[in-house]
Amino acid sequence: MGPAMIEKKINVIREASTPLIGRKIERFETAEILHHDGTWDDWPDLPIRIYGNGRTMLSVSWSRFDDLWLSNDTSLPFAVEDATTRWKPNGINKITGAIGCTIQGVSLGRGEMSIESRDIEIWTRLVFDLDGKWLEVFNALDENGYDLHLVKPDGEFRKCT
């Protein structure tokens, strides 16, 4: 990814995430899909919705190699067709520690990828700087992955807000 494309992605992140800067995370929601046998399962292909106080929100969804979709409403990046979905509040235990924290900034991070032993430049990590914690939403092979770090994560980052 060239410098112009990285800058474009940073600008999109800045525009979408600025309304959350200085806001406390009240909750997040992730999607579940209903299977034919009547059971529900996580569906990380759909966005995580991060809700801040003051009626602010940001939906984040990674797909393909480095496609990032962001929205400040409950729209979806693709049609779910005939799938039955529901939204589960605070359903990812490893990131519930972000609830109540103030979003102080957002950065785009470089991911790791290689093809035939050759490193590929790919920017697939979105990191929210919280109160001494870092909430990461990353591309986990065509779907969202999540981590909450208690120390600043390693890697190359570009500040967006």
Q: How far apart are CA 60 and CA 154, in angstroms?
A: 21
Q: How far apart are CA 19 and CA 41, in angstroms?
A: 31
Contact between residue 139 and residue 45 where contact means Cβ atoms under 8 Å apart: no
What local confidence, expressed as pLDDT, does residue 114 receive?
A: 64
What local confidence, expressed as pLDDT, does residue 2 receive?
A: 77
- What pTM, to 2 d.p., does this model score? 0.92
Contact between residue 130 and residue 80 where contact means Cβ atoms under 8 Å apart: no
Mean pLDDT of 107-132: 86
Structure tokens at 109: 């991070």
DSSP letter for 96, please: G
**Where do the structural domains in the chain lie, given as residue ranges?**
3-159
